[in-house]
Amino acid sequence: MKILIDADGCPVVDIAVRAAKRYGLECTIICDTAHSIQREGADTIIVDKGADSADFRLVNLVSSGDIVITQDYGLAAMCLSKCAVVLNQDGKRYTEENISGLLEFRAVSAKIRRSGRRTKGMPKRTAQQNKDFEKALNELIV
pLDDT tens for 76-126 read 999 999 999 999 999 999 998 887 767 677 666 666 667 877 767 667 899
What does the alpha-carbon distance between residue 111 and residue 9 come to, in Å, rounded to a whole number? 22
What pTM value is reported for the model? 0.84
Residue 56's CB: how many other CB atoms inside 10 A? 15
> What is the predicted pLDDT for the residue at 121?
67
Please count the structural domains in the chain. Answer: 1
> What is the predicted pLDDT for the residue at 73?
87
Q: What residue numbers bound the domain in which 137 lies?
A: 2-141
List the CATH number of the domain containing 27: 3.40.50
Give the tens place of pLDDT for each residue, 6-62. 998 899 999 999 999 999 999 999 998 888 799 999 999 999 987 788 999 999 999
> What is the predicted pLDDT for the residue at 91?
95
Helices (H), the chain: 13-23, 53-61, 73-81, 99-114, 127-141
